[in-house]
Amino acid sequence: MNVLMNVRELIKAHGDIEREVYLDFENSGPVLPEVIEAMLPYLRERGYGNPTITHKPGWEAYEAIMEASEEIAGYIKASSFEELHFTHSDTEANNIALLGGFSANRKLGRRVVISKIEPLSILFPAQMMRKNGVEVVEVPVNNEGFVLENELLKAVDDETVIVSIGLVNHEIGTIQPIKELVEVVKERNPCTLFHTDASDAYGRIPFDVRELGVDMATLCSYKIQGPRDIGALYVREGVKIDRILEGPLGTESLWPGLENVPGIVGFQMASRLAFENLHEKARRLKGFRDMLITEILEKIPETILNGPRGDRRAPDNVNISFLRCEGEALTIELSLRGVYVSSGSACTRRLLQPSHVLLAIGRKYEEAHGSVLMKLSSKHGFEDIQYVLKVLPQAVGRLRSISPF
């Protein structure tokens, strides 16, 4: 009860905020109105049936799933909609890729290779596999978060079953040269499967799974302001993969249970909106991103940019460490001013541990603890960016003024 009371007091403390700017799209966000409108009929008057049952509501549900599969598969240039498998989330998709991919191909060897900056939905299943006797190799990255190709080459051997490296890093926005990394892996061992978590690339940068050469790719709905509890896993035709959950199968071979038809329809609409004028949206986001980075580094002393600059960085990503500031305190301070960000990785912040991504690129503990992650959306305008640049120095200045350091 005390915790709830404290939360209510914190909410009440916000009072009259001049402006609200939401920059925590890494972790969640509002579902777009158009997405909600697309979902509503499938929650009320149509498509509420089981898509495996032969009656009108079932046929409507089945049609909705097939149409969404075709459209979303088209955005990533998959060969067929049958290569797209809906899942309950991007976390589940990553688990299926790693655990299910290894299970189906375990005769090939006992090694799995990942990078040191993969999301926890890759790191944690990899750790579980290690406990069960699988050899897991974590490849280091440079100070901008790029995988070291020579280390990757050394890590892949004749026993390597799967390599998993994200297309865009979820914390520092590094865009990996996945096509080149796939070529390095396949040249060393053509039988090795290559998976990429493309959750932070989908809807922000264009990519072609066939051109990249990947065997599996994870997609996410909520990161493009679609509904939660829905994701997808691209699995190239011919790749063997096992289910990690068991139950009654419907239209999805990797997702037992009743399909989330409203969620799938919402994912489809969010994708349509994200890919509409994608190049223009990316250009606009890059402008806002660079404005934030440049102004913050110039106007606030003792700040460090985490990740690369320019076209090697995702257009929506800003991650900066503020020395002599604690990241969690800064998120609260900004929240009281109507700017909503996250500190490091939201997956670890409740544990008060520094981000493993920032430590992997060489940041010290105090630098990682003082990091703030901001992710932009196409709904942001110039006034939003100006407001952030107005209140951020105020928040940092107040915290530093009371810091014992």
d(CA 84, CA 233): 6
Q: Verify whether residue 347 is a known catalytic residue.
A: yes
Dump the DSSP string for 179-191. HHHHHHHHHH-TT
Task: Say how far apart CA 322 and CA 305 lie, in whole Å.
Answer: 9
Total Cβ atoms within 10 A of residue 297: 13
User: Active-site residue among 191, 220, 325, 347?
Assistant: 347
Contacts with 171 (C-beta within 8 Å, 6 or more apart), sequence order: 26, 117, 306, 307, 319, 344, 345, 355, 357, 358, 373
Over the range 93-131, which residues count as b (16 or more CB within 10 Å of their CB) and which as e? bbbbbbbbbbbbbeebbebbbbbbbbbbbbbbbbeebee
Cβ distance 230 to 86 under 8 Å? yes
Amino acid at 336: L
Rounded (10°) CA dihedral 127, 131, 134, 136:
30
Cα separation, 182 vs 208, in Å, equals 13
Q: Catalytic amino acids?
A: 347
